[in-house]
Structure 1
Amino acid sequence: MNLEEMKQAVVDALEDVKATEISVLDVSGLTSVTSFMIIASGSSNRQTRALADNVQKKLKEKGAQIYGVEGEQEGEWVLVDLGDIVVHIMLPATRDYYNLEQLWGAAESRRQSAKASG
């Protein structure tokens, strides 16, 4: 499975369990840890766990390797590490607090500014 298919499979798995506010961020130019971050919201701890479970199930069915899962017990912020893609599934309040889209978007803006002036 190529990276585009993998991204689509994650988004589909999240949509299957009614995730909201799904964002796909290309962070390949910002970190060597991963290429993409996919961020989604769940309405309850139970739903965030169900979303993470579905992502794992659907991606394993397609042959992807799951490198790790964090936060399943609490369900406030569940991270699924697929290597080239890291999936963050959060409760809305947690997502608002950490604001990963702005954090990584601001880093990309700074990187682009540095390239333009350098």
Structure 2
Amino acid sequence: VIDALEDIKAFDITVMDVRNLTSMTSYMIVASANSTRQAKAIADNVREKLKEKGADLRGTEGEKDGEWVLVDLGDIVVHIMIPSARAYYNLEQLWGETETRRTASKKSAA
């Protein structure tokens, strides 16, 4: 999933282990995109790459607006957000005390 995000230049990627907080999913991944168009392209790439690997794609939400696109992979839920939406919703803080891993920020030029 991380490789599929980074292929289309997602940045500020955070992986949260939420297994002890919810039964909906095991991991949440939050990533930023520079624009709604890029967020949609990242979501498309995640779906395409994981479909090739036989992953269970349960659904996608938010592609129409593109400010926050959610890709549900069952055990992993991927949130792709433009920076203003990410700052507003602050999912990392909302989910509180989780085991979190951040990847190196590779913000691309806008």
What TM-score comes out, normalization by structure 1 length? 0.81
Give runs of ≥4 in structure 1 deviating > 3 Å.
none
- What is the RMSD computed on CA atoms of the aligned residues? 1.2
Q: 1:68 is matched with which residue: 43, 56, 59?
A: 59
Segments of structure 1 that go 5 or more residues without pairing to the other structure are 1-9, 109-118
Which residue is 2:93 aligned to? 102
Gaps of 5+ in 2: 99-110
Task: State the shift of 1:65 in Å.
Answer: 1.3
% identical equivalent positions:
68
Structure showing greater radius of gyration is 1
Structure with the largest fraction of helix? 1
User: In the TM superposition, what is the alpha-carbon distance from 1:105 to its structure 2 partner?
Assistant: 2.3
Query: Amino acid of the residue matched to residue 22 of structure 2?
Result: T
Report 1 or 2 for greater relative contact order, CA contacts < 8 Å, sequence distance ≥ 6: 2
- The equivalent residue for 1:80 is 71
* TM-score of the superposed pair, with normalisation by structure 2: 0.87
Alignment of 1:1-118 (within 5 A): 10-106=1-97, 108=98
